[in-house]
Amino acid sequence: MFKMKKIIYILSLIGFIANAPVINASEDTISQWTYNYFKRIHNYMEMERFEDAGRELETLANRYFKNERSYERALINQLYGQFYMIQGDFYSAIPWFEKAVQFGYLNLPGEIQTRSNLAAAYFQAGRYDDVIKTLLMTQEMGMKRGIDLSASNFVMLGMAYYQLNDIQPAYKYISKGNDVSEKLNEDWLQYEFGLAVKLKKYNEAIEVGQFLIFVNPDKSTYWKQLSGVYYGGNNEDQSLAGLELAFEKGAMEKEVDFLNLSKYFLYKDLPTKAIKVLNFGFENKKIKIDKKNLDLLADAYFLSKDREEGINTLIKSLDIEADSKTSYKIARFAFEAENWDMAIKYFNRAKSEKWNDVPGRIDLLTGIAYFEKDQFNDALKYMEIAINYDESKSAAEGWIQYIKQSMGA
């Protein structure tokens, strides 16, 4: 939702009053006396002495310039609109701005400024169709003299289209506003970025995202958004680089970002970097130490071929939440590492927790572990259990014969 910032009161009248001849007022100039009167009202408004300003305006309008079809009256109507505008009363400002431009007595700069203020008042009142109509008319009027809309008016025009769910012109005009703006405006860039992504204009979104990072490099959201756009544009390497840079700059705060980055590293077969991200997250309380996250860290250790740390991490995971699958994984990794005592311990635990992926396998492997420890009687006991399952019967028979031979039987 577009949040129009507090509209700054612009003394548009002073801009051309100051250049007006002091005497011999003609159709598009005012006298010194009128100029001084207007200036006094402006000063009251600048000082927020609205009661005084309102009283002077009423006197000026009712006593001296009652004729609506005059240049001075157009200026008074314009000034009335600004009087209400600066106080945030946009609904009251609208009819005064409308009357100010009704008869065409303002000069071009004054007309453009007044129509811009009118469009802003329409926007605040939710009259988005009128915003569009007014600003497009203002643009057409100005272009006859080579004067285009201001950056803020382009953005307002785009946001009016956005409020009407007309995304294409919304993007067009907000992008134009950013292009002609003398300074990078973070809010406007955010609008353009979001619309570019919505329209799947990924190259344009990447460019705007880079500007956002330039404006506010410490805002982690921009790094993440840019990474997401790279990914959406099928540039996975750039996406990863964006996330990694956010991490390195300390611009990541949310757990989900640390987890996504670590998973991305694992996906790209970079387990060492995943381990770095996860351990940083755990140590700095960015990532919750729970079973799921510890299992992810364990996977990273195993992929990096650091079996010992992987097993230790799985044991920590198991301490948090009992799980037969994790017990079995620990036992298998311990078995492969020839850590027979640990293998036996966790095979038995997995069995007690009802792990049974292949019937008889746990008993077979436990028997082998006991055999490697030269505990032949225990080995035979487990092989005799394994022989009762079709899946492990053949292997168990072979092992029983081999164990008995080793025992000299």
Res 328: pLDDT: 93
CA 285, 287, 293, 296 dihedral sign is negative
DSSP codes, 167-187: HHHHHHHHHHHHHH-SS--HH
DSSP codes, 293-313: HHHHHHHHHHHTT-HHHHHHH
Res 31: pLDDT: 74
Res 64: pLDDT: 66
Task: Say how many C-beta atoms besides its own lie within 10 A of residue 142's C-beta.
Answer: 19
CB < 8 Å & 24+ apart, contacts of 149-155: 150/116, 150/180, 151/177, 151/178, 151/180, 151/181, 151/182, 151/185, 151/188, 152/177, 153/116, 153/119, 153/177, 154/180, 155/185, 155/188, 155/191
More confident position, 349 or 245: 349
Given a contact cutoff of 8 angstroms between Cβ atoms, the answer to whether 279 and 298 are in contact is no
What Rg do the C-alpha atoms of the chain give, in angstroms? 38
pLDDT in tens, 152-174: 999 999 999 999 999 999 999 99
- What is the chain's length? 409
How far apart are the C-alpha atoms of 402 and 210, rounded to whole Å? 68
pLDDT in tens, 56-100: 888 887 876 777 677 888 888 898 999 999 898 999 999 999 999
pLDDT at 181 over 50: yes
CB < 8 Å & 24+ apart, contacts of 255-260: 255/281, 255/286, 255/287, 255/288, 257/220, 257/224, 258/286, 258/287, 259/287, 259/293, 259/296
Q: Could you tell me the pLDDT band of residue 383, with boundaries at 50, 70 and 90?
A: very high
Helix (DSSP H) and strand (DSSP E) numbers for the chain: 22, 0
What the block records as the tokens of 266 is: 């694992």
How far apart are the C-alpha atoms of 270 and 280, rounded to whole Å? 16
**Cβ density class 291-319: b for 16+ within 10 Å, e for less:** bebbbbbbbbbbbbebeeebbebbbebbe
Task: Say how many C-beta atoms besides its own lie within 10 A of residue 358's C-beta.
Answer: 10
How far apart are the C-alpha atoms of 334 and 326, rounded to whole Å? 12
Distances, alpha carbon 355 to alpha carbons 6, 115, 231, 292, 311, in Å: 65, 76, 39, 19, 18
Given a contact cutoff of 8 angstroms between Cβ atoms, the answer to whether 209 and 191 are in contact is no
What is the mean pLDDT of the segment spanning 347-353? Answer: 91
Largest Cα span, the chain: 131
How far apart are the C-alpha atoms of 112 and 103, rounded to whole Å? 14
120: part of which helix (H) or strand (E)?
helix 108-124
What the block records as the tokens of 304 is: 């990096």
368: part of which helix (H) or strand (E)?
helix 361-372
Given a contact cutoff of 8 angstroms between Cβ atoms, the answer to whether 259 and 280 are in contact is no
Q: What is the pTM of this model?
A: 0.61
Least confident of 4-18, 56-70, 322-336, 372-386: 4-18
pLDDT in tens, 24-58: 233 346 778 888 888 888 899 889 899 998 898 88
Report residue 158 CA to chain centroid gap. 20
Res 235: pLDDT: 60
Average of per-residue pLDDT values in the chain: 85
| DSSP3 helix / strand / coil % (the chain, rounded to 5) | 75, 0, 25
pLDDT in tens, 91-125: 999 999 999 998 888 888 889 999 999 999 999 99
What is the mean pLDDT of the segment spanning 328-339? Answer: 93
pLDDT in tens, 6-27: 332 332 332 322 332 222 233 3
How far apart are the C-alpha atoms of 178 and 196, rounded to whole Å? 13
Q: Is 288 helix (H, G, I), strand (E, B) or coil?
A: coil
Given a contact cutoff of 8 angstroms between Cβ atoms, the answer to whether 347 and 356 are in contact is no
pLDDT in tens, 195-249: 999 999 988 998 998 899 889 887 877 877 877 787 666 566 666 777 787 788 7
pLDDT in tens, 235-252: 666 667 777 877 887 777
Q: Could you tell me the pLDDT band of residue 274, with boundaries at 50, 70 and 90?
A: very high
Task: Say how many C-beta atoms besides its own lie within 10 A of residue 222's C-beta.
Answer: 26
List the alpha helices (DSSP H) in 304-339: 307-320, 324-336
Q: Which of 256, 258, 261, 219 is nearest to 240 (CA)?
A: 261
What the block records as the tokens of 261 is: 């980055």
